[in-house]
Amino acid sequence: MALAVTLRKQEDARPKGERVHLGGDLIATFIGNGSIRSIRVYRWNDFDEHWLAMNNSLLPQMSAVAAENNQSAATANLIDSRSEHG
């Protein structure tokens, strides 16, 4: 944990465009005896704040993709209905 916290502090001091963004959950994964087990060992205290900021920054992009997908689906439906009628 100490290493992760130290690295996060170092990266936060760098210019935003040059950072390695560390955060969220740290997960330990154990593999053995024919099984895989993962557990959360740490969550940064600003997790919720960064999660919301990330989603808000992606919202316009995701809305554009959804609109494009809806347009593609509408076009496909129009082509299908035309081929059924003739």
Residues 52 and 82 in one domain: yes
On whether the CB atoms of residues 43 and 3 are closer than 8 A, the answer is: no
Residues 21 and 56 in one domain: no
Domain that holds residue 2: 1-44
DSSP single-letter state for residue 6: H
Residues 63 and 26 in one domain: no
Residue 14: what pLDDT? Answer: 95
How does pLDDT run across 26-79, given as a tens digit for each residue?
A: 999 999 999 999 999 999 999 999 888 888 888 877 777 777 777 665 555 655
Residues 20 and 58 in one domain: no
More confident residue, 15 or 21: 15
Cβ atoms within 10 Å, residue 23? 18
- Rounded Cα–Cα distance for residues 86 and 81 (Å): 9
Residues 75 and 55 in one domain: yes
Residue 73: what pLDDT? Answer: 59
On whether the CB atoms of residues 1 and 42 are closer than 8 A, the answer is: yes
**pLDDT > 80? residue 84:** no
* pTM exceeds 0.75, yes or no: no
**pLDDT > 80? residue 80:** no
Overall number of domains in the chain? 2
**Residue 4 burial by CB count (10 A; 0-12/13-18/19+): exposed, middle or buried?**
middle
